[in-house]
Copies of this chain bind each other. A is one copy, B any other.
Amino acid sequence: MKIRPLYDRVVVRRKEEEETTAGGILLPGSAKEKPNQGEVIAIGEGKVLENGELRPLAVKVGDRVVFGQYAGSNTIEVDGEKLIIMGESEIFAIVE
């Protein structure tokens, strides 16, 4: 199965980290404050400008990105894997 995001939307595979404190206790999601990270899996064709033209996105497939902590609420299961769909404006930066 393949997923094609519309316009300025981006599909991201969230990077799962060991979420343990120094003492080894698993932290619930609500205790994390830092932005989320992940890898770009698919991108849309571009953002629609006011004149109707498409502006290609700045991120590309394979980029490792940092996104806002509220960007991960829309998920989709593709081939048994849970992915996130977000607008490119919810992505803060590319990490290299």
Binding site for B on A (CB under 8 A): 1-7, 9, 11, 33-35, 42, 44-45, 47-53, 55, 58-59, 66, 68-69, 74-78, 82, 85, 88, 91-96
Closest to A53 in B: B52
Contact check: which of B11, B42, B55, B94 meets A6 at CB < 8 Å? B94
Which residues of chain B are near A35, meaning CB under 8 Å?
74-76, 85
Number of copies: 7
Q: How long is the Cα–Cα vector from A93 to B34 in the complex, in angstroms?
A: 25
Q: Are B96 and A76 in contact (CB under 8 A)?
A: no
Q: A6-B94, A96-B1 are in contact. Are A76 and B11 (CB under 8 A)?
A: no
Q: With A1-B95, A66-B76, A93-B85 given, is the CB distance from A50 to B50 under 8 Å?
A: yes
